[in-house]
């Protein structure tokens, strides 16, 4: 599938591409399974229950999953669908998909050399990391609100702040569960190294999530974070991000 990696020629305005299941090599299916197996033990220890239960229901048959098949179950559960994309897509296109309950999932898979670290999201990060939680109604609603908020942030010069919110919740968020701290962020769930680090290492600080502090916290995409934000529940995340952020953006831009 290397051919499709970052190949945008002839792409439409929505940046959607068909997932060609036949185009994945046997090695690619095997690599996807190796990534899955490697995470399995870590998930038991570090992943939040909602994620683990949703992943189990997905019943991944082995190899790179079929977006169309998963979308049938997903749309029945929360009205979301998966759309294939060739990689990162423009912010406004990305947010517009989320606002319409379409989750963009990259169609290509990393190479074995990128097993431990990949800069851009690939199908393992996007599918394994993001898709299971879209089966949870509250999280699914939050993700759609996030998309609508993103389109608004673009108009209010607030994208940088909203991207930080996304980074510290949807990508690297932690959640309190029965007195323990677990992972729900896709970047953590799909990483063998950063999930244990974020939860068990003494180096990073773990602070209670609030939207303003998160939006004021810069992040580095190519290193582990110094700070991780902890929500009490997805309802807490929803409530914290429901307000109109216009005044927040104005205050943050004024700093
Ligand atoms: N495109 N395919 C894809 N996946 C993303 O996660 C993504 C994107 N484009 C923009 C983007 N994320 C970020 O700018 C926003 O999350 C802020
Ligand atoms: Fe992601």
- Write the pLDDT tens digit of every residue in 114-159: 998 888 999 999 999 999 999 999 999 999 999 999 999 999 999 9
Reported confidence tier of residue 208, pLDDT bands at 50, 70, 90: very high
Euclidean distance between CA atoms 184 and 173, whole angstroms: 6
What is the mean predicted confidence (pLDDT) over 198-204? Answer: 98
Give backbone dihedrals phi and psi of 223, rounded to 5 degrees, phi first: -155, 165
- Write the pLDDT tens digit of every residue in 80-109: 999 999 999 999 999 999 999 999 999 999
Q: Whose CA is nearest to atom 10 of ligand 1?
A: 91
What is the mean predicted confidence (pLDDT) over 196-212? Answer: 97
What is the mean predicted confidence (pLDDT) over 19-42? Answer: 95
DSSP secondary structure, the chain, as one string: -GGGTT--TT--TT--B---GGGS-HHHHHHHHHHHHHHHHHHHHHB-HHHHHHHHHH---SSS--HHHHHHHHHHHHS-EEEEESS---HHHHHHHHHTTEEEEE-----GGGSS--SS--HIIIIIIITGGGGSHHHHHHHHHHHHHHHHHHHTT-HHHHHHHHIIIIIT-EEEETTEEEE--HHHHT-TTHHHHHHH-SSSEEEE--HHHHHT----TTS--SEEEEES-HHHHHHHH-S--HHHHHHHHH-
What is the mean predicted confidence (pLDDT) over 64-80? Answer: 97
Active site residue 171: yes
Euclidean distance between CA atoms 244 and 192, whole angstroms: 36
**Does residue 24 surpass a pLDDT of 70?**
yes
Residue 29's pLDDT is what? 97
What is the mean predicted confidence (pLDDT) over 170-198? Answer: 97
Q: Smallest Cα–Cα separation from 145: which of 95, 214, 92? A: 95
The pTM score is 0.95
**Does residue 77 surpass a pLDDT of 70?**
yes
Q: Smallest Cα–Cα separation from 50: which of 133, 124, 127? A: 133
Euclidean distance between CA atoms 53 and 76, whole angstroms: 17
Residue 111's pLDDT is what? 96
Q: Whose CA is nearest to atom 3 of ligand 1?
A: 88
Atom of ligand 1 nearest to the CA of 15: 2
104 Cα–ligand 1 center, Å: 9
Give backbone dihedrals phi and psi of 200, rounded to 5 degrees, phi first: -115, -20
**Range 183-218 burial, b when 16+ CB lie within 10 A, else e:** bbbbbbbbbeebbeebbeeeebeeeebebeebbebe
More confident residue, 49 or 9: 49
Catalytic residue among 190, 194, 240, 248: 190
**What mean pLDDT, rounded, does the chain reach?**
94
What is the mean predicted confidence (pLDDT) over 15-40? Answer: 96
Ligand 1 pocket at CB < 6 A: 85, 88-89, 91, 94, 104, 106, 121, 163, 166
Active site residue 190: yes
186 Cα–ligand 2 center, Å: 6
> Would you say 161 and 219 are in contact if contact means Cβ atoms under 8 Å apart?
no
Reported confidence tier of residue 1, pLDDT bands at 50, 70, 90: very low
Atom of ligand 1 nearest to the CA of 163: 17
């Amino acid at each position: 599938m290397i051919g499709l990696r970052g190949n945008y020629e002839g792409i439409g305005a929505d940046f959607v591409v068909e997932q060609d299941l036949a185009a994945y090599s046997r090695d690619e299916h095997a690599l996807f399974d190796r990534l899955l197996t490697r995470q399995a033990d870590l998930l038991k220890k570090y992943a939040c229950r909602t994620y683990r239960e949703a992943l189990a229901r997905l019943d991944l048959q082995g190899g790179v999953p079929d977006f169309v098949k998963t979308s049938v179950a997903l749309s029945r559960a929360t009205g979301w669908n998966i759309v294939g994309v060739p990689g990162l897509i423009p912010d406004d296109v990305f947010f517009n998909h989320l606002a319409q309950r379409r989750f963009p999932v990259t169609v290509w898979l990393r190479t074995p050399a990128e097993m431990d670290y990949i800069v851009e999201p690939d199908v393992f990060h996007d599918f394994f990391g993001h898709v299971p939680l879209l089966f949870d109604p509250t999280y699914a609603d939050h993700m759609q609100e996030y998309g609508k908020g993103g389109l608004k942030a673009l108009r209010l010069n607030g994208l940088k702040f909203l991207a930080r919110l996304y980074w510290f919740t949807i990508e690297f968020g932690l959640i309190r569960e029965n007195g323990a701290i677990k992972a729900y962020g896709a970047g953590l769930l799909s990483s063998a190294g950063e999930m244990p680090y974020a939860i068990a290492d003494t180096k990073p600080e773990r602070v209670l999530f609030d939207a303003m502090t998160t939006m004021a916290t810069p992040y580095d995409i190519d290193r582990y974070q110094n700070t991780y934000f902890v929500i009490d529940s997805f309802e807490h995340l929803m409530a914290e991000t429901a307000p109109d952020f216009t005044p927040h953006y104005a205050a943050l831009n004024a700093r």
